[in-house]
Each structure stands twice: as structure tokens, then as C-alpha cells.
């Protein structure tokens, strides 16, 4: 049946002969637009008509679709319907109508013989976009043109701004502890007040309590700057006490309602969601509820010590050398990655980027230590602490002589555990032919670029206190340190602190480069104008890490150009 029908159609309406005249292309496009298909006889007649567009428009007016036979053409000619709305220039319609790209009509005119014939476009094929191949560990690409100055042409220039070495005067008495916290409060209160963000001049807590009837509404508020204590949650509400030299007061922070969108509401929500750490210094504005049963101070606005957008200092174009950063190499452990270290040494001697590196900063835990945790001796390759440091000295001496190594201690090193920690003992330093030894933390400048290097034990306190901080994102803990302007706020937490009469863990000067280690991660990025570096380890996953399900990011060297502040991360594993 189908074959008979098909043969009958072909006999009645044979396939059109493709015309060689270029004029037929324009006519066929107009027919296609009108939903018409002209048989061979009609094609010839349309070609003879002076204005075939009138015929096609008449067919549209009559509602004629499909095959246009000679009978239908005669009927249209007899009707002789005039066109009320002329279509316009045929050439323009041809150029703008996509049908020209969809209907394959051969054109044999001399003018078009060199034009390629296009068939139906099912899916356009575009030239693929060139995408650089991904680097190991998904590290970002860098340009060698950002690192050009040979380090051996520049003299060493290190300026130490603070180092506890030789400056620790605490006796560990209660008076030292009180002095330390008073020092913290005074330093950070000055930063908060000078920012001008508080609604009122800060009032002593005893004065606020004494005049509580005065501060009894949102229009009549008081501002307080003090230390946070006894942080706790009840549902979504955050409760804590705040104290200054005069006394303390219980406070409650209610999250803002969904309809509130003021800056004050956003700050309250941010703190309510993230949380506070014990011994944070904050500024609050609030009031009492005279009709309520609670005597708590209701917080309307809250401020951490502000950190403004920072503009980095540079070494200048004549000293555009680089600094490199590593941490936690843990020499002496069976999991120390010596083969990867030797690979880095070879790279230092041969790679063009390495020849721009003037400084190598090792942010603590140069050795694995002895007796740091139970049964550690079973995981040690070198069981003598002094021999561990001898091996560190040997390994760093393999680096080119133009590289100045800066070493600060960590919690595995042979110094007191309480922070701030002094530099390594002179007996240990004598193993090294060339190195600069500093305490932890240390605030120093490299050719004028302010660098704050801290081993980072307090990251554990931030993980346990601030909800959005995790061991896999240590850079968030570093951001919180900058926001609080303090490296280790919580006394009595996981970070042992030395009660120096002056709190040296306050971040008084915003660094151009802020670097930590300790948690064996890796990060390099920018936060409010400061370059944050979480230095990579040179130790493989330990049994303790496997128990916690933590995977380190080992053997990544971070390089920063001190003039351009361009960065590069080089993997060796």
C-alpha cells in the first residue's frame, strides 16, 4: 500500500528539477517560508512571472499550504489578489532569514560557484576553547614572567619586629595572668574605639548596671567593650558574659528576624551562626528589657576588632625576589618524605623559578620530637632529638647558598610548649651553618614586606569553637584570627599560653603575608589584602591522622614574589 501511494505521488508530483538560475534560490526561500512546495511545472511559471512574490503572498492570503500544483497557481492568478502589506526587499529577507541556512538549494551562477554549500545544521560545531591542562592537586597555574629577579644578586634583608626570644619575663603568677588579659583588653579596645563603629562611647560595666533603667529601650542604649566568657547556646540564642576591669554582665544575642536586613542585623546573625570564643574581645551595644523577667543585657549590635582592607607593602622593583614557605617536615619520623625533599632540593638548583627564591620560611615542627605523644618511639626513624636536628641541618644545607632559611619552633620542637615560644636553643642552632632562628609567633619584614609567621596550634581551638572552621579549611581559622586581631584568644583551651605581662599574641599590625602550619594542609589566597598561606607538610599520613580520617596535603612549596605579590604553588608529591 505504502509503495503504491509513494509511486502515485511521484507520478503526480515528480521531484523538482534544481534550477541553475540564481533567481530560483530567492523564490524557493519565499515558498519555504510560506509553507509551500512547487512542482516542476509551477517552478518554470514562477520563474517567468515578473514578481513571483505577489503570487506567494496571495497564496498566504488564501490560506494555501503544501504542494502548489499548476491548477492552484492558475486559481491564484485568476483571483489576482493585491498585496496590502509588501514584504520589502527580497535580498534583505534572504540574508536575515535562517531558512537560507536550512534549505540546501544548489546555485550554479557564476557569482556563487566558489561559495561552499551548507546542509541542514543539526548542531553547530564551534572551535573548542583552549583550556590549560589541570596541574597536580588542582593547584592554580602561574606565570614564570612574574618571577624574574635572581636571588643571588640581592643581599639578605630581614627585620625582626617581635620575637619573644630573650624577652619573656613572666613568673607565672596570678598578677602576670591579670596583666596579660588587661593588656589584651587595652590593645583591642583601642582598635575597636578608634574604628568609630560603636554607637556610643564605651561605658564601664558597673556604670551600665547601676543605670539600667536609663538603658531600657532600643532608643536608649549603652556600649561596652570587654572580654567574652562562659559562651553557650540555648536553641539559636547565644548567651555569654562580658567583663571588663569594673565587673561583668550577662548578655544574650538573639538572631535577627528574616525581615531585618540592616548591617546591625547581619552582624548579629553572623556571630549567632558562627559563635564566639572564650576570651574574645568584642564591642557590643544593647539595652535591658524593663518589662521582662530576665536581667540580661540584650545585644542590638556587636563588633569584633575591625580589620580594614589592607594595601600590601612591596619590596620595590629593585628587590623583586621571592620567599618560599613550608612547615611540619617532622624529620625523625618514619613518615618523613625524604625522597620528595630531595626532589625539591634538585628543583632548587635547576628551576628558573627557584633561582628567584631568597628566603625559605619553615613555620615550626622541623623535627618530630621525642615523647610528644604516647608510644611515639615506635614511629620514629631517629629516636634522639639532637640527631633529628642534625639531620634537619644536613637537609637544609643541601639547598643553594643564596637561600636564607628562617626557622621557628612548633609544638614538636625542643622548646617550651607555651606560646609565644622562644627560638631553638643555641646548642641546637650550632648544628646549622646558615639559618635565622626566630620564636613562634614572629613578626618580621623581608625587604619591607611585613610577614607574620605562626605555627598554628590555636587552629584546633578555632575548630572546636567556631562552627564554620574545620581542619580541612584551616584558612578560615586564619581569617578568624585576623578578624579577632588575635592568634590564640582562648585561655585554657588546646593552646598552652604563657602569661606574659604584655599579650604578644595580639595582631596589632595587619601583615602583608600571614603564614601558619600545624594541621598539614595547604592554602594560598588573599583575605582583605593580606596573603594567607597555610604551609604544606613534608610528612605522610600518620596513624593518628588515619584514625581521624584526615588526609594531609604534603610536599607543596608556596612561593611569593615580594614585589608583585604573585604566588606559585609547586607540588613535589
Count of Cβ atoms closer than 10 Å to residue 143 Cβ? 8
130-139, 417-426, 451-460 — which is least confidently predicted? 130-139
End-to-end CA distance of the chain: 72
Average per-residue pLDDT for the chain:
87
**DSSP classification of residue 521:** -
Q: Tell whether omega for the bond before 246 is within 30 degrees of 0, i.e. cis.
A: no
pLDDT at site 208: 94
55-69, 176-190, 226-240, 403-417 — which is least confidently predicted? 55-69
- Rounded to whole angstroms, the Cα distance separating 44 from 476 reads 78
What number is the average pLDDT over the span 457-480?
95
The β-bridge partners of 225 are 283
% the chain with pLDDT above 90: 68
pLDDT at site 118: 52
What number is the average pLDDT over the span 51-73?
80
Lookup: cell for 138: 588542582
What number is the average pLDDT over the span 303-316?
93
55 backbone dihedrals φ, ψ, rounded to 5°:
-65, -45
What number is the average pLDDT over the span 95-119?
45
What number is the average pLDDT over the span 185-190?
97
The β-bridge partners of 407 are 362, 437
pLDDT at site 42: 79
- 293 CB-near residues (< 8 Å, 6+ apart): none
Higher pLDDT, 439 or 44: 439
pLDDT at 116 over 70: no
Radius of gyration of the chain (CA): 38
- Rounded to whole angstroms, the Cα distance separating 507 from 476 reads 16
pLDDT band at 120; cut points 50, 70, 90: low
pLDDT at 474 over 60: yes
pLDDT at site 218: 82
- Rounded to whole angstroms, the Cα distance separating 276 from 401 reads 47
Higher pLDDT, 375 or 280: 280
pLDDT at 88 over 70: no
% the chain with pLDDT above 70: 87
DSSP 22-36: THHHHHHHHHHHTTE
pLDDT at site 440: 98
- Rounded to whole angstroms, the Cα distance separating 190 from 193 reads 5
- Rounded to whole angstroms, the Cα distance separating 282 from 284 reads 7
217 backbone dihedrals φ, ψ, rounded to 5°:
-155, 170
CA atoms within 13 A on the CB side of 108: 5
Lookup: cell for 83: 498585496
**Residue whose C-alpha cell is 523564490:** 27
What number is the average pLDDT over the span 11-40?
66
Domains and their CATH numbers in the chain: 2-112 (no CATH), 156-168+311-571 (3.60.21.50), 196-303 (2.40.50.140)
pLDDT at 192 over 90: yes
pLDDT at site 75: 79
DSSP 81-124: PPPSS----HHHHHHH-THHHHS-----SGGGTTSPP----SS-
Lookup: cell for 103: 534549505
pLDDT band at 518; cut points 50, 70, 90: very high
* Residue 480 contacts residue 425 (beta carbons within 8 Å): no
pLDDT at 11 over 60: no
Residue ranges in 370-502 assigned as alpha helix (H): 385-397, 426-429, 459-465, 474-484
**Residue whose C-alpha cell is 606574659:** 500
- 348 CB-near residues (< 8 Å, 6+ apart): 354, 357, 399, 400, 403
- Rounded to whole angstroms, the Cα distance separating 6 from 333 reads 85
Count of Cβ atoms closer than 10 Å to residue 276 Cβ? 22
* Residue 363 contacts residue 453 (beta carbons within 8 Å): yes
- Rounded to whole angstroms, the Cα distance separating 207 from 213 reads 11
* Residue 550 contacts residue 471 (beta carbons within 8 Å): yes
What number is the average pLDDT over the span 429-451?
97
- Please tell me which of 30-39, 209-218, 295-304, 540-549 the model is most confident about, judged by mean pLDDT: 295-304
Largest pairwise CA distance in the chain:
117
pLDDT at 87 over 50: no
132-175 per-position pLDDT tens digit: 888 888 899 999 999 999 999 999 999 999 999 999 999 999 99
pLDDT at 223 over 90: yes
- 534 CB-near residues (< 8 Å, 6+ apart): 456, 474, 475, 478, 515, 516, 517, 519, 521, 522, 523, 524
The β-bridge partners of 525 are 532
What number is the average pLDDT over the span 237-251?
96
Amino acid at each position: 500500500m505504502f509503495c503504491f501511494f509513494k509511486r502515485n505521488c511521484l507520478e503526480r508530483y515528480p521531484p523538482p528539477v534544481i534550477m541553475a538560475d540564481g533567481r530560483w534560490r530567492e523564490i524557493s526561500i519565499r515558498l519555504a517560508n510560506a509553507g509551500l512546495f512547487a512542482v516542476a511545472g509551477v517552478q518554470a511559471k514562477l520563474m517567468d512571472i515578473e514578481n513571483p512574490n505577489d503570487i506567494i503572498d496571495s497564496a498566504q492570503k488564501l490560506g494555501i499550504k503544501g504542494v502548489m500544483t499548476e491548477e492552484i497557481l492558475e486559481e491564484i492568478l485568476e483571483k489576482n489578489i493585491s498585496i496590502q502589506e509588501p514584504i520589502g526587499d527580497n535580498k534583505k529577507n534572504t540574508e536575515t532569514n535562517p531558512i537560507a541556512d536550512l534549505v540546501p538549494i544548489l546555485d550554479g551562477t557564476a557569482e556563487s560557484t566558489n561559495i561552499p554549500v551548507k546542509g541542514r545544521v543539526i548542531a553547530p560545531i564551534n572551535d573548542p576553547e583552549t583550556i590549560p591542562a589541570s596541574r597536580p592537586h588542582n593547584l592554580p597555574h602561574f606565570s614564570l614572567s612574574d618571577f624574574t629577579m635572581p636571588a643571588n644578586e640581592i643581599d639578605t634583608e630581614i627585620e625582626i619586629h617581635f620575637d619573644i626570644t630573650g624577652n619573656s619575663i613572666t613568673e607565672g603568677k596570678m598578677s602576670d595572668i591579670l596583666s596579660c588579659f588587661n593588656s589584651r583588653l587595652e590593645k583591642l579596645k583601642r582598635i575597636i574605639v578608634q574604628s568609630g563603629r560603636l554607637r556610643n562611647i564605651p561605658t564601664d560595666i558597673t556604670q551600665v548596671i547601676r543605670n539600667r533603667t536609663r538603658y531600657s529601650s532600643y532608643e536608649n542604649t549603652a556600649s561596652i567593650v570587654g572580654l567574652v566568657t562562659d559562651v553557650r547556646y540555648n536553641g539559636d540564642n547565644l548567651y555569654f558574659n562580658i567583663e571588663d576591669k569594673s565587673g561583668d554582665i550577662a548578655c544574650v544575642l538573639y538572631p535577627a528576624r528574616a525581615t531585618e536586613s540592616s548591617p546591625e542585623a547581619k552582624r548579629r546573625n553572623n556571630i549567632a551562626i558562627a559563635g564566639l570564643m572564650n576570651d574574645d574581645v568584642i564591642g557590643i551595644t544593647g539595652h535591658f528589657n524593663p518589662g521582662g523577667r530576665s536581667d540580661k543585657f540584650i545585644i542590638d549590635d556587636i563588633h569584633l576588632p575591625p580589620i580594614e582592607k589592607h594595601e600590601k607593602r612591596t619590596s620595590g622593583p629593585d628587590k623583586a625576589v621571592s620567599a618560599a614557605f613550608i612547615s611540619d617536615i617532622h624529620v625523625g619520623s618514619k613518615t618523613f618524605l625524604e625522597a620528595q625533599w630531595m626532589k625539591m632540593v634538585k628543583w632548587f638548583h635547576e628551576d628558573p623559578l627557584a633561582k628567584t627564591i631568597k628566603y625559605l620560611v619553615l613555620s615550626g615542627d622541623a623535627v618530630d620530637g621525642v615523647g610528644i605523644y604516647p608510644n611515639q618511639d615506635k614511629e620514629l626513624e631517629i629516636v634522639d632529638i639532637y640527631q633529628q636536628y642534625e639531620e634537619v641541618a644536613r637537609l637544609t644545607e643541601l639547598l643553594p647558598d643564596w637561600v636564607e632559611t628562617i626557622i621557628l619552633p612548633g609544638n614538636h620542637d625542643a622548646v617550651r610548649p607555651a606560646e609565644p615560644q622562644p627560638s631553638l636553643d643555641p646548642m641546637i642552632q650550632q648544628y646549622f651553618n646558615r639559618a635565622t632562628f626566630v620564636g613562634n609567633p614572629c613578626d618580621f619584614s623581608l625587604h619591607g614586606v611585613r610577614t607574620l609567621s605562626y605555627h598554628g596550634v590555636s587552629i584546633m581551638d578555632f575548630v572546636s569553637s567556631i562552627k564554620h572552621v574545620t581542619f580541612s579549611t584551616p584558612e578560615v581559622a586564619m581569617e578568624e584570627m585576623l578578624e579577632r586581631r588575635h592568634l590564640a584568644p582562648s585561655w585554657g583551651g588546646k593552646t598552652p599560653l604563657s602569661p606574659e605581662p604584655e599579650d604578644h599574641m595580639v595582631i596589632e599590625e595587619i601583615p602583608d603575608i600571614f603564614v601558619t602550619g600545624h594541621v598539614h594542609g595547604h592554602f594560598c589566597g588573599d583575605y582583605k589584602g593580606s596573603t594567607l598561606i597555610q604551609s604544606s607538610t613534608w610528612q605522610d599520613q600518620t596513624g593518628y591522622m588515619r584514625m581521624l580520617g584526615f588526609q594531609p596535603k604534603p610536599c607543596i612549596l608556596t612561593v611569593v614574589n615580594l614585589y608583585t605579590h604573585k604566588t606559585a604553588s609547586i607540588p613535589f608529591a
